[in-house]
Amino acid sequence: MASGNPYAAELAAAKKAVTLAAKLCQTVQQDIMHSGVQAKADKSPVTVADYGSQILVGFSLKMDVSSGPFSLVAEEALDELRKDGAEEILEDITDLVNETIFDDGSYNISFTKEGILSAIDDGKSEGGPSGRHWVLDPIDGTKGFLRGDQYAIALALLDEGKVVLGVLACPNLPLSSINNINGNSSGDKVGALFSATIGCGAQVESLDGSPPQKISVCSIDNPVNASFFESYESAHSMHDLTRSIAEKLGVQAPPVRIDSQAKYGALARGDGAIYLRFPHKGYREKIWDHAGGSIVVTEAGGIVTDAAGKDLDFSKGRFLDLDTGIIATNKELMPSLLKAVQEAIKETNQAASLL
Ligand X SMILES: Nc1ncnc2c1ncn2[C@@H]1O[C@H](COP(=O)(O)O)[C@@H](OP(=O)(O)O)[C@H]1O
Per CB under 5 A, residues contacting Mg ion are 137, 140, 289
Question: Is 299 one of the annotated binding-site residues?
Answer: no
* Dihedral sign, Cα of residue 180, residue 286, residue 161, residue 73: negative
* Binding partner of 346, given ligand X, Mg ion, none, CB within 5-8 angstroms per partner class: none
Q: Which member of 142, 197, 298, 329 is catalytic?
A: 142
Q: Does 236 bind ligand X (CB under 6 A)?
A: yes
Q: Does 221 bind ligand X (CB under 6 A)?
A: no
Among 233, 240, 323, 347, binds ligand X (CB under 6 A): 233
Q: Does 240 bind ligand X (CB under 6 A)?
A: no
> DSSP per residue over 312-335, as a string?
P-TTSSSB---SS-EEEEETTTHH
Return the half-sphere exposure (C-beta side, CA atoms, 13 A cut-off) of residue 65. 26
Provide the mask over 56-75, with x wherever binding to ligand X is found by CB under 6 A and - wherever it is not: -------------------x
Q: What angle do CA 229, 236, 173 make, to 5 degrees?
A: 45
Q: Does 286 bind ligand X (CB under 6 A)?
A: yes
Q: Which member of 19, 50, 122, 242 is catalytic?
A: 50
Q: Does 294 bind ligand X (CB under 6 A)?
A: no
For residues 197 and 227, which CB has a smaller minimum distance to ligand X in the complex?
Answer: 227
Contact 53, 25 (CB under 8 A): yes
Per-residue CA distances from 127 to 47, 316, 317 (Å): 24, 8, 5
DSSP strand pairing (190-197 vs 202-206): antiparallel
Q: Does 94 bind ligand X (CB under 6 A)?
A: no
- Distance (Å, whole) CA 193 – CA 210: 10
Sequence-distant (≥ 6) Cβ neighbours of residue 275 within 8 angstroms: 228, 229, 230, 263, 264, 267, 297, 326, 327, 328, 329
Tell me, yes or no, if 50 is annotated catalytic.
yes
Question: Is 139 one of the annotated binding-site residues?
Answer: yes
Give the other-Cβ count within 10 Å of 240's Cβ: 11
By CB under 6 A, the residues from 243 to 262 that bind ligand X are 259-260
Among 235, 319, 331, 349, binds ligand X (CB under 6 A): 235
- Applying CB under 6 A, which residues contact ligand X? 75, 137, 139-142, 231, 233, 235-236, 259-260, 279-280, 283, 286, 289
- Residue list, annotated binding site for Mg(2+): 75, 137, 139-140, 289
Which of the residues are catalytic?
50, 142
